[in-house]
Amino acid sequence: MTVETADPGLDTFRAETRAWLEANCPPEMRTPARSEDDVCWGGRKGDYSAAQMTWLQRMGERGWTVPTWPKEYGGGGLSNAQAKVLAQEMSALGCRSPHSNFGIWMLGPALLKFGSEEQKREHLPKIARGEIRWCQGYSEPNSGSDLASLQTRAEDRGDHFIVNGQKIWTSYADRADWIFCLVRTDPTAKKHEGISFVLFDMASAGVTTKPIRLISGKSPFCETFFDNVRVEKHNLVGQINRGWDVAKYLLGHERAMIGGTGSADIARPLGEVIAGLVGTDAQGRIADPLLRARVAEFEVDEAAFRLTMARFGDLMRAGQAHPAYPSALKYYGSELNKRRYELLVAAGGSDTLEWDSDRSKHGATIRAWLRTKANSIEGGTSEVQLGIIAKRILELPGA
């Protein structure tokens, strides 16, 4: 599909971008990832294919892994309009994202807003080039929804802190290189006011991880322990005891990112996939009328959500987005993604339930269906998002 733009400069940019992508995106990177294991996360511990590494390196050199970040921090320095064109052209060619990284979606935006110049120059280019993989140390065994009650302590020792405590549900902690972590620096202050936001290397002495194994046999997250971990003061982001400001800002980005799962997989509309599973009638429609109605309802909601996400992106880049709006996107997007997989499982019937056969592609759909159940928990539960929407967007009175 050719998209015309009013700005002739943008048309030239589009043509150049298309030509560059065609010349530089390896054919293997023009197919969707086969599973979660087929996604490139970058980092020091990665084991990726030659095509994944080539694609990451080429996009990283151009700054197009983070197209709108400033060039001096490893970004592409593109305008919002150019970044949109790049995304459209990548989608048209079926190009994968060169890498996934919590640094791109979460830490990077927080560093751009709260980081010192030294921190930006140190960490952002490594995120852009996929050299360092980040994990998120927020949740603790007794602090999930009530995150501000966290107890991991950081004691001030002059030029450094000594960190002790435990995190839980730390996604990919065993595969990450560095962690962005919330620690309590003033135990006497009110709970939101004694927290700081620090960065440290997961290879530091005193950091250990214990994978949490799930029923699927996979271990997407860990318990993470800190035993007298030394963290240099220059790795404190923002002000001491004001880490909650950084944490909240970062959570907004995390929630918008998770909400994005609601409009994922747009390369192939759900109706087309389901028609392939259950067959079509003489008019080429999904044969089962009840399923057809549910899929139609889903596709309309998905299209509306995709436009809402795009509108939010524009508002955010213009600095006009309501700060609590990511909660609405997170709530709706994660519920929508769960609906998508409910429909896929319903359409696939008993074949889908096969856990480990070639016919079920080794349970790809059922495993993905199970994974979607976590969408409405990770990054803050749906109930908590509804509470935020009620209070901060709808301004309803508290209970």
Ligand X SMILES: Cc1cc2nc3c(=O)[nH]c(=O)nc-3n(C[C@H](O)[C@H](O)[C@H](O)COP(=O)(O)OP(=O)(O)OC[C@H]3O[C@@H](n4cnc5c(N)ncnc54)[C@H](O)[C@@H]3O)c2cc1C
Q: Are 100 and 13 in contact (CB under 8 A)?
A: no
If the CB atoms of residues 82 and 261 are measured against ligand X, the closer one turns out to be: 261
Which string of DSSP letters, residue by residue, matches 284-313? SSBSSHHHHHHHHHHHHHHHHHHHHHHHHH
Looking at the Cβ atoms of 100 and 139, the one nearer to ligand X is 139
Tokens of 199: 């960065």
Q: List for the chain the helix, strand, coil content (%; round to 5).
A: 50, 15, 35
Regarding 144 and contact with ligand X (CB under 6 A), the answer is yes
The Cα 125–Cα 107 span in angstroms is 12
Query: How many amino acids of this chain bind ligand X (CB under 6 A)?
Result: 20
Rounded to the nearest 5°, which phi and psi values hold at 335? -65, -35
Residue 197 interacts with ligand X (CB under 6 A)?
no
Among 44-52, 131-139, 278-286, 391-399, which window interacts with ligand X (CB under 6 A)? 131-139
Please say which residue, 172 or 305, places its beta carbon nearer to ligand X: 172
Nearer to ligand X, 49 or 149 (CB): 149
Among 88, 171, 208, 241, contact with ligand X (rule: CB under 6 A): 171
**Which residues have CB under 8 Å from 363's CB, separation 6+?**
354, 355, 356, 357
Task: Spell out, one character per residue from 271 to 310, where the chain touches ligand X: x when CB under 6 A holds, - when not.
Answer: ----------------------------------------
The mark string for 353-382 relative to ligand X (x by CB under 6 A, - otherwise) is ---------------------x--xxxxx-
Residue 394 C-alpha from the chain's centroid: 26
Q: How far apart are CA 132 and CA 125, in angstroms?
A: 10
Contacts of ligand X in 203-222 (CB under 6 A): 221
Q: 10 Å Cβ neighbour count for 383?
A: 11
Of 109, 122, 166, which is closest to residue 142 (Cα–Cα)? 166
Task: Pick one of 52, 82, 100, 139: the residue that binds ligand X (CB under 6 A).
Answer: 139
Does 177 sit near ligand X (CB under 6 A)?
Answer: no
Interaction between residue 145 and ligand X (CB under 6 A): yes
Tokens for 185, please give them. 């620096």
Figure out which of the listed residues 161, 169, 178, 305 binds ligand X, where binding follows CB under 6 A.
Answer: 169
Task: Give the span between the Cα atoms of 167 and 224, in whole angstroms.
Answer: 5
Q: Single out the segment in contact with ligand X by CB under 6 A; choices: 23-31, 163-171, 273-281, 292-300.
A: 163-171
Smallest gap from residue 284 Cβ to ligand X (A): 38
Structure tokens given for 336: 């929508």
Structure tokens at 82: 């150019």
Among 136, 166, 196, 372, indicate the residue that binds ligand X (CB under 6 A): 136
Report the interface residues with ligand X, using CB under 6 A. Answer: 135-139, 144-145, 169-171, 221, 374, 377-381, 383-384, 387
